Amino acid sequence: MGVSIKWLCALAFLAIVGIAADAAGECPKSTPDMEAMKLIPCASAAQDPNAAVPASCCAQVKRLGQNPKCMCAVMLSNTAKSSGVKPEVALTIPKRCNFADRPVGYKCGPYTLP
């Protein structure tokens, strides 16, 4: 019985460490999938390179763009993919929002930010 409790405690410890390590990933206070949900105003602009980019989308992308690693993870997340986001189009949004301080040339998987 004592061995079982020690085993459960060890598993619980590993689970907590795993969660903490994940939280310190690309998006420090969130997950890429949770951040992707905040980009709903960008849905049409992330699918069609000719669609207008709403100001609310630009505001969220500006916030997210402060951490290019997180932005990349969000654009390539399962939530983005299942929403029909085209990463090659989504990565053009900072340029389409006319951000002068966007991470130009940042490598995001097989894509490069224009």
Residue 38 in contact with residue 58, Cβ under 8 Å?
no
pLDDT at position 113 is 78
Q: Ramachandran region of residue 3, left (φ > 0), alpha (ψ -120 to 50) or beta?
A: alpha
Q: What is the pLDDT of residue 49?
A: 95
Q: Is the pLDDT of residue 21 over 70?
A: no
Q: What is the pLDDT of residue 5?
A: 42
Q: What is the CA radius of gyration of the chain?
A: 18
- pLDDT at res. 98: 92
Q: Are residues 1 and 8 in contact, defined by beta-carbon separation less than 8 angstroms? A: no
Work out the pLDDT band at 114, boundaries 50, 70, 90: confident
Give the model confidence (pLDDT) of 38-76 as tens digits: 999 999 999 999 999 999 999 999 998 889 899 999 989
Q: Say yes or no to pLDDT of 77 above 50.
A: yes
Q: Cα torsion at 47, 113, 64, 87 (round to 10°)? A: 30
Question: What CA–CA distance (Å, rounded) separates 83 from 67?
Answer: 22
Range of the structural domain that residue 6 is part of: 2-112
The answer to whether 85 touches 46, Cβ cutoff 8 Å, is yes
- Domain count across the chain: 1
pTM: 0.71
